[in-house]
Structure 1
Amino acid sequence: MKSLHIIAILILLSFGFSKNQSKVKITNKSEVTIKGKSNVNSFECKYNSEFIEDDLHVSITRNNSKMLLEGAKIDIKSTGFDCAHKMITKDFKSILKAEEYPHIVINVRELIIVKENISAKLNVKIAGIEKEYMVPVAYNQNNGNVKGQLKLNIKDFKLKSPKKLLGMVVVNDNVEISFNLFLQY
């Protein structure tokens, strides 16, 4: 009788769930940009698209409006950013502690789909510290394009913004990460 209860529970738990494996390629047409501001100016650091191409083996479990993902982990080289100015690029890599932590890891854990709206639950790991975020994303099925913006505070990762000219130039702790990923299945 006990085994009948276990089977019944397993059937109920699996109702509405379907799981499949998919190979996803992030192409080098993709872009990742980090934007920030100081009390004097703003800056934009673009990720080198040569480093962006990656193959992921993603396991997807669907449950109604949720898609649970395993293996949707993106490694971004901390040294792969160019801020269009040598000193800003150097300071930016210093902020990220790029020598000590060579990768920023973004792990897409879950997609939540409600009508036309998609949100991604991400774990972001910078300088050895991991935080969870919910990010609204846009997906274009025709070209496999995923776009979104993640706003975060660098203090959440125990990072410190540099102060220049005896503290007269101060970088804001809030940054915006914009991503425009082109995927192939």
Structure 2
Amino acid sequence: MTKTKVKISPKSEVSICGKSNINSFQCKYNSNLLDEEILVTSVKSTDNIIYLNNAKISISSNGFDCCNNLITKDFKTTLKADSYNTINIQLKEIEIENSNLITRIEIEIAGKTKDYLVPTTFNEKNNNVKGTLKLNIKDFNLKSPKKMFGLIQVEENVDINFNLFLLY
């Protein structure tokens, strides 16, 4: 069992990208809110899989900015940010395949939890983890906003892009 303290650098980037039937949008997370230190415990390791314990990141549902007040407001309403002020991400395991990683994570949004496998890359020189999680908001019983009496509809599939710089 190995314990490591990890902090996510403020130069990290997290964004959620989506589309509507007329446009696309990007909501960026305020990376200055990623200031808590995480004590990560690897509990078991095989030749190509690292099992993790306590590798949990909580981010504020209100920490996103979509560069448009109306879109930001709709986005936070979709996330039910008033009732659920955090999105919890638990790293469960990392499978190593050559220089690529498959990370199994558990995400909790608006009180609903779902597991995902996320292809990621790790740059050891920069302590940098990158990847894109593709998810459907219906997995969390969320409804995409509709505007103008249903003329503008937001797609249910979004991409969560992350570029995290880790500090040890």
TM-score tier after normalising by the smaller chain length: over 0.9
Matches within 5 A, 1:105-120: 105-120=88-103
Secondary structure of the 1:79 match is coil
- Per the alignment, residue 12 of structure 2 pairs with 30
Judge conservation of contact 1:27–1:54 (CA < 8 Å) in 2: no
- SS of the residue 1:135 aligns to: strand
Counting only pairs closer than 5 Å after superposition, residues 22-171 of structure 1 correspond to structure 2 as 22-60=4-42, 61-171=44-154
The alignment of Structure 1 onto Structure 2 pairs a total of residues equal to 167
Offset at 1:116? 2.0
More helix by share: 1
Unmatched 5+ stretches in structure 2: none
Distance 1:144 1:115 in 2: 17
Residues of 2 paired with 1:107 and 1:175: CA distance? 19
Question: Deviation of residue 151 (structure 1)?
Answer: 0.3
Deviation at 1:63, TM superposition (A): 1.6
Q: Post-superposition shift, 1:54?
A: 2.1
**1:93-115 residue CA offsets vs partner (Å, 9 max, x unmatched):** 00000010000111010000122
- Deviation, 1:145, is 0.4
Structure 2: which amino acid aligns with 1:85? Answer: N
Which residue number in structure 2 is paired with residue 14 of structure 1? none
Q: Highest CA radius of gyration, 1 or 2?
A: 1
Superposition deviation, residue 143 in structure 1:
1.0
Distance 1:22 1:88 in 2: 38
What secondary structure, in the 3-state scheme, does the structure 1 residue paired with 2:62 have? helix
- Please tell me the residue identity of whatever aligns with 1:176: D
Q: Which runs of 4+ in 1 moved over 3 A?
A: none
The answer for the alignment partner of 1:12 in structure 2 is none
1:184 Cα offset (Å): 1.1
The answer (yes or no) to whether the contact 1:121–1:132 under 8 Å persists in 2 is yes
Q: Kindly indicate whether the alpha-carbon contact (under 8 Å) linking 1:148 and 1:178 is maintained by their aligned counterparts in 2.
A: yes
Residue 21 of structure 1: aligned partner? 3
Unaligned runs of 5+ in 1: 1-18
Paired letter, 1:29:
K
Structure 1 vs Structure 2 CA RMSD: 0.7
TM-score (norm 1): 0.89
Contact 1:147 1:181 in 2 (8 A): yes
Normalised TM-score (structure 2): 0.97
The 10-residue stretch of structure 1 (59-68 or 74-83) with the greater mean CA deviation from structure 2 = 59-68
2:13 & 2:167 partners in 1: Cα distance? 15
Percent identity over the alignment is: 51
